[in-house]
Chains A and B, each alone.
Chain A
């Protein structure tokens, strides 16, 4: 697995290429890119700042990927999450999973995103015409993580 928590943008094509470079056992790569939207909960969003918990962030992401690797047979996993100030259209997060078949690649990619949304210590603060506000966690995110079978809401 390879995990990066960084301010800088990333190159989606280059990351996917790197995941499979020099190997011939990969039959499928599933990837997800999360972007900053220009609206949320009825307000325009001109920018957002992502705060995180250095140290714990990397550990939490490594734990999530390790759990995916225990559930599915995967060839390689790449996770990138940005922090700092981002504007609409900017990439926030990237998850790519390489496996022998598409089933495990799709499932593991979605699993990692669902767990990341409830377990990785990032917090979004949006800038809107009404002022800056912290984004509230969604109950739907807990539900999405819970459907994978273990507690997604905090890993107690």
Chain B
């Protein structure tokens, strides 16, 4: 019932972690509610708070906050991309 969460770039630095395993609650979770849960953990985690410019991907595709998470999913949070 776990998902893998990845953090990249400035978000990874702000949180001080690159990845973790997260246990999904019985009722399931969307990308948006997971983000809100994480933001409640404390000061550093405010980097994920509403209003911060954070993007998400599920199983390596861009995903909006409404996307439902399933056990085994890989969820990533990161700032807007700046390649090219």
Chain A residues with Cβ below 8 Å from B79 are: 123, 134, 137
B64 neighbours in A (Cβ, 8 Å): 154, 156
Interface residues of chain A: helix, strand, loop or mixed (majority)? mixed
B42 within 8 A of A: no
Q: A155-B62, A156-B62 are in contact. Are A121 and B84 (CB under 8 A)?
A: no
Say yes or no: B62 contacts A52, CB within 8 Å. no
| A96 located at the interface, meaning its Cβ lies under 8 Å from any Cβ of chain B in the complex | no
Counting residue pairs across A and B whose Cβ atoms lie within 8 Å, the total is 84
Instruction: Give Cα distance in the complex from A83 to B20, angstroms.
Output: 24
Interface string of B41-84 (1 = CB under 8 A from A): 00000000000010101001111100000000000101111111
Complex CA–CA separation, A21 to B78 (angstroms): 40
Q: How many residues in A have their beta carbons less than 8 Å from beta carbons of B?
A: 31
Chain A positions 32 through 69: 1 when the CB is less than 8 Å from some CB of chain B, otherwise 0: 00100000000000000011110110011001000000
CB-defined contacts of B17 to chain A, threshold 8 Å: none
Given A56-B76, A120-B83: A125 in contact with B9 (beta carbons within 8 A):
yes
Q: Is B29 an interface residue (CB 8 A)?
A: no
Question: Whole-angstrom distance from the CB of B8 to the nearest CB of chain A?
Answer: 6
A-B contact pairs, 10 of them (CB 8 A): A53-B76, A59-B61, A60-B62, A93-B83, A122-B81, A123-B78, A124-B83, A134-B13, A135-B82, A154-B64
Residues of B within 8 A of A (CB): 6, 8-10, 13, 53, 55, 57, 60-64, 76, 78-84
7 shortest A-B CB distances, which residue pairs? A122-B83, A137-B80, A123-B9, A56-B60, A134-B10, A156-B64, A155-B62
